[in-house]
Copies of this chain bind each other. A is one copy, B any other.
Amino acid sequence: MKSIALKTALSIAEAGLSHAEKSGFKPMAVVVVDDGGRLVAFMRGDGASPGRFELALAKANGCVMLGVGGRALAALNASNPGVVTAAGNAFGGKLFPAPGGVLLRDGQGAIIGAVGVSGDTPDNDEAAAIAGIRAAGIDFQP
């Protein structure tokens, strides 16, 4: 049983892509996963390269699997890359340590899923993810 309703996931993805377009970002892909790291919704913007799905999913899944946001994973990767690579291998490659992976939390702070965005710079990816999450009114941790 997933913890994010499809309707919520779609609103996050749509608002994220809309923010990216208005901001002049490169074409992007947005993934929303549940609290098990399983896919709920995905949208690949026209012009985004095909591998953006795998990267966006790896961002979101890595966050859920470790309970850590993408920005924190990027910092850990900078200080201790061997450990992050090993974790990624343990997850079958589904971990991408970069901003653009954002944890979703409910009102009590429990992790209910994650968003992963890939297409432009990590900072722009994260900005699109956060814009989408804010539009849905959900707590988050980048």
Contacts and interface: CB of A to CB of B under 8 A. Distances in A.
Majority secondary structure, A binding face: mixed
Number of copies: 4
A36 B47 CA distance: 12
The size class of the interface chain A forms with chain B is 35 or more
Contacts of A90: 51, 54-55, 57-58, 93-94, 96
Contacts of A98: 83, 86
A39 B37 contact: no
A38 B53 contact: yes
Interface of A: 1-3, 5-6, 10, 17, 34-55, 57-58, 62, 64-68, 77-78, 81-98, 110-112
